[in-house]
A and B are shown apart, each in its own frame.
Chain A
Amino acid sequence: MKKPLIQVQHLYKTFNQGVQAVSDLSFDIYPGETLGLVGESGCGKSTTGRTLLRLEKATSGQVLFEGSSIFSLNEKEFQPFRKKMQIIFQDPYASLNPRMTIGEILSEPFTIHQLARGDQKKRGVKQLLDLVGLPLAYVDRFPHELSGGQRQRVGIARALAVSPQFIVCDEPLSALDVSIQAQIVNLLKQLQIELNLSYLFIAHDLAMVKYLSHRVAVMYLGHIVEIGTSDLLYKNPKHPYTQALLSAIPLPDPVTERSRKPIILKGELPSALNPPKGCPLVTRCPFSMPICAQVKPTMKEVAPAQFAACHLEPG
């Protein structure tokens, strides 16, 4: 068995005023693997990604990169790890400096991490453009001259400049048109194989997550409620929340779409300021039992390599 690249252990993140964005997350990501992270808006997906990159300070818990804890390091000690862990953002319009040319944007990481200078840097930028499928002439263009898909390619190239091993992809497709999304997905897939990258792929498009991810983790109200290999999890979800979420996926086919019966959870998402004491889903779960309001369920193996946090007996 391969050793995990990233190990997240009991990660908590509480914002001011007590918003519990992320509670007790534990998961591993292996080299060359894509872990999909799904859930509704506000469930803590993006906070998870940002916290494990140290872009947000964790309240408690550990993140190990190749076995070494990155939260206990000071900025200087952490610098070499920063190169290995990068992020691609959702909005390719807001994440590029409008006053810098594409060439300047892509050479910045080389400067910051003192990786190359002069001609070497120029060669590096050219290699990056080539890698993400942009014409070399784009070095002198400004972000506003590019389309959304091209900008997202620049965002990916910038993350790749420092030869990372792990990239958090935070909704990288949401701002793009359907026909362009497929271009970026295929690029991410191809880069993963070429460079042996690991991804944490955060998205709300559940069909796309299934297509791209080896394993998928489902989040609800700051907790991972279920995690498993994507094919099995989608085929046989065990947690009532996963079942409801997957049943709501709209299908691009009028025949199956019209016979689909989504499971509608009653009520509204509870506030993260004051989450339920036991299971996070207790207020909305169709199967809730007295124990669910009292005791937080722990992760149990419900099928081979599939874990769910639920008091119901598996099966």
Chain B
Amino acid sequence: MKKILEVKDLKVTFNKWHQKIEAVRGLSFDLYEGETLGIVGESGSGKSSAIKALVKLHPESITQMSGQVYYGKSELIGSTDKEMQKIRGREIGMIFQDPMTSLNPTTPIGAQIIEGYRRHFPHISSKEARAYAIQMLHRVGFSQPEEWISAYPHTLSGGMRQRVMIALALAPKPKLLLADEPTTALDVTLQAQILILLKEIQQDMHTTILLITHDLSVVAATCDRVLVMYGGKIVESGPVHELFASPRHPYTQRLLQSIPRLSQTKEEPIIPIEGSPPDLSLPLKGCAFCDRCPSAMQICAREEPPLFEEKVHCWLYSPRRL
């Protein structure tokens, strides 16, 4: 399989007041063509900061970034704004969590799709672009797209707006789609529809998807592989079936135990993870999960765990006795 994206030791630090927040503390992964890779983590795990850093959406004045992101032959972190503008949208599309604040409230949805499309394909006539926008709206499930094309975002329901976002992102036919919590603002019934839609379109257009979510069920439904992030780092990665069947890292194990299943009876307790995630404005020593980990050993507080068995950052899997 061909690599479409290669991320090496990505670090993102924000300046906030007089503090430095180390949101992403060294992230490396590869993304292969046609796959859906999930990044799962709680708020503050650095998943959103990382995905935004890939396309350099963080304001430069308060952000320091290091590491490399290779997209084909180009390295994105060192790219200029001008170079990034050719990549964003055209090569790498994006869908965000909240479709209401991501759409322009003063422009009809059709015009927004056309604008984005013609930005990358200026030679297309406006008539052709309009026909294409109608086609895209139809593709994402609008039954009478000709009537909807001049509708404003506020007249649409949440689910319809998220469909427009998907049409908008996919109109320039990007090779890679970054989806940041695409269904979090939606009800379960709509979530199910949007996830099915994303899958169909991925198959039609051979898009690669990098999906960010806090919801393990969304990962279970859509992803081929998954990275689990905690405290700005990957703690575990693997194919989705393997990770759910036999989670290795204590954080992943505990996370899976802390959500109720439909088959769960009231007598079977759900087991919470006590404590709260680490404060990333303070220097972290050792494993970020150490304070909350039931299996923590002395070494966990001292030294950061390297990668063991090619998938898990945890001292429990060290081949030598500790």
Question: Which residues of A are at the interface with B, using a C-beta cutoff of 8 A?
Answer: 40-41, 147, 149-150, 177-183, 185-186, 204, 206-208, 210-211, 231, 234, 244-245, 247-255, 257-258, 262, 264-265, 268-269
Contact = CB atoms under 8 A, between A and B. Distances in A.
Interface residues of B, number: 45
Given A182-B270, A182-B272, A185-B270, A250 B215 contact: yes
Which of B158, B214, B270 gathers the greatest number of chain A CB atoms within 10 Å? B270
B307 interface: no
B191 interface: yes
Contacts of A257: 217, 220-221
Interface in B269-299: 269-274, 276-277
Contact of A248 (B192, B240, B277): B192
A183 B272 CA distance: 5
A150 to B, nearest CB: 8
A181 B261 CA distance: 14
Contacts of B190: 40
B33 interface: no
Nearest to A209: B260
B272 A41 contact: no
B259 A250 contact: no
B318 interface: no
Contacts of A248: 188-189, 191-192
Given A204-B187, A248-B189, A255-B241, A180 B262 contact: no
Which of A247, A253, A269 gathers the greatest number of chain B CB atoms within 10 Å? A253
Contact of B258 (A181, A204, A231, A245): A181
A268 B272 contact: no
Given A40-B189, A150-B276, A178-B216, 16 more contacts: A40-B190, A177-B42, A178-B42, A179-B272, A180-B273, A183-B272, A183-B274, A207-B259, A210-B262, A231-B265, A244-B189, A249-B188, A250-B217, A262-B189, A265-B189, A268-B160
Nearest to A43: B187
Interface string B51-71: 000000000000000000000
Interface string B171-197: 000000000000000011111110110
Interface of B: 42-43, 157-160, 187-193, 195-196, 214-221, 240-241, 244, 254-256, 258-262, 264-266, 269-274, 276-277
A264 B269 contact: no
Contacts of B259: 178, 181-182, 207, 252
Given A179-B42, A250-B215, A211 B260 contact: yes
Given A178-B216, A204-B188, A248-B192, A254 B272 contact: no
Pairs of residues from A and B, 9 with the lowest C-beta to C-beta distance, nearest first: A250-B217, A182-B272, A179-B273, A211-B260, A183-B272, A177-B42, A182-B258, A40-B187, A262-B192
A207 B266 CA distance: 11
B42 A208 contact: no
A186 B217 contact: no
Contacts of B160: 268
A182 B265 CA distance: 15
Contacts of A210: 260, 262, 264
Contacts of B159: 268
A240 to B, nearest CB: 13
Contacts of A211: 260, 264, 266, 270
A250 B258 contact: no
A208 B264 CA distance: 10
Given A147-B276, A207-B259, A269 B157 contact: yes
A63 to B, nearest CB: 27
B221 A177 contact: no
A179 B254 contact: yes
Nearest to A234: B262
A245 B262 CA distance: 13
Nearest to A175: B43
B240 A254 contact: yes
Contacts of A269: 157
B262 A249 contact: yes
Contacts of A245: 188-189
Contacts of B256: 252
27 contacts: A150-B276, A177-B43, A178-B42, A178-B258, A179-B255, A183-B272, A185-B272, A186-B269, A211-B266, A234-B262, A248-B189, A250-B188, A250-B192, A250-B195, A250-B217, A251-B220, A252-B216, A252-B256, A252-B259, A252-B261, A253-B261, A254-B220, A254-B244, A257-B220, A262-B192, A264-B189, A268-B157
Contacts of A41: 158, 187
Nearest to B266: A211
B269 A251 contact: no
Which of A177, A186, A231, A264 gathers the greatest number of chain B CB atoms within 10 Å? A177
A149 B258 contact: no
Nearest to B265: A231
B92 to A, nearest CB: 26
Contact of A208 (B187, B192, B260): B260
B272 A180 contact: yes
A172 to B, nearest CB: 14
A252 B217 contact: yes
B188 to A, nearest CB: 4
